[in-house]
Amino acid sequence: MSYDLAVWEGTRPSDDAAAGETFERLYGEYVDIDEIPPTPAIRAYVDALLGRWPESTDANGPWADSPLIGNARGPLFHFALTYSRADEVVPVAARLAAEHGLVCFDPQSERLRLAGTPAALVLSAADDSRVSDPSPDDIEATVRSLTVDNWFAILERDEGTFLQVAVKPGWFALEVREGTPESHVATRVTTIDEATAAFHAYARSDETWTAAHTWAPVEL
C-alpha cells in the first residue's frame, strides 16, 4: 500500500478545491508524457528529499518506487511513499516544499499540505469503504453502519497504528495497536455508542477514554 503526494511549481491555490483542480490539470498535462524534464525547482526539491532519505535497496526505505526523479515531469512531481512511513515523511515533504516555494497537495484527502501538518488518518470498513482524513460525521456514519456482514471498521494513523472495532454477538471488540505487536491490546464494549465515542476520541488523539476499560494483550 502506498501514499501519494503531489508537489508543483506555481502560485499557491486559494483553497483545497482549487488545489484539486490544479492537480488534475497538471496531471493530465504532464504525467503520461515521458520527454519533459523536471524544472530546476522540482529537481532541487527531489534532491532535498533524497538528501534526507537516500534511495537504496533497503526494504524499509520510504519511497514506493525508484528512481524518485523519474516521477518528475516539468513543474509537477507526483510520487508515492510506502504507507508505513507516511506519518514520518509527509510533514517533512510539506516543509521542504514550502522552503522551495512549491505547492504540496495530498490527493488522498484532497487538501493542501502545509508545513508541519501530519499525514491524514484513514478510516476503512469491511464493506471496502475508505475515507482519508475522516470528519466526525464520516466516523459517526461508518461506525454506526456496522452489521454482522459489514463487521469491522478501522481508523489508522499508519501501518500498525490503529483503532479497530469488530461486531460480536451482543457486544463489540475494540483493539488498539501503537506500532508493535506488544502494544496490541483489546477490550469489549456493549453498545455502538461506546464504540463510536472511542473512534471520535482516537481521531482527536484523546487517550483519556482508554482508562474506562480493562485491556488485555492480543495474541496473533
Please state, in angstroms and rounded to a whole number, the distance separating the CA atoms of residues 63 and 56.
Answer: 9
Element (H, E) at 34: none
Q: What is the pLDDT along the chain (220 residues), one digit of tens a residue?
A: 688 999 999 999 988 899 999 999 999 999 887 779 999 999 999 999 999 889 876 667 889 988 999 999 999 999 999 887 887 888 889 889 998 999 999 998 888 887 655 556 889 999 999 887 788 889 999 999 999 999 999 999 766 789 999 999 999 999 999 877 888 999 999 999 999 999 999 888 787 888 889 999 988 6
Q: What pLDDT shows up at residue 34?
A: 75
Q: What pLDDT shows up at residue 10?
A: 93
Q: Which three cell numbers stand for residue 183?
A: 502494544
Please state, in angstroms and rounded to a whole number, the distance separating the CA atoms of residues 60 and 149.
Answer: 35
pTM for the predicted model, two decimal places: 0.57
Q: Which three cell numbers stand for residue 150?
A: 459489514
Q: What pLDDT shows up at residue 91?
A: 84
Please state, in angstroms and rounded to a whole number, the distance separating the CA atoms of residues 62 and 173.
Answer: 33
- Three-class SS state of 145: coil
Q: What pLDDT shows up at residue 84?
A: 78
Nearest to 102 by CA among 110, 111, 112, 116: 112
Q: What pLDDT shows up at residue 117?
A: 59
* 2, amino acid identity: S
- Cell 508524457, residue located: 33
* 211, amino acid identity: A
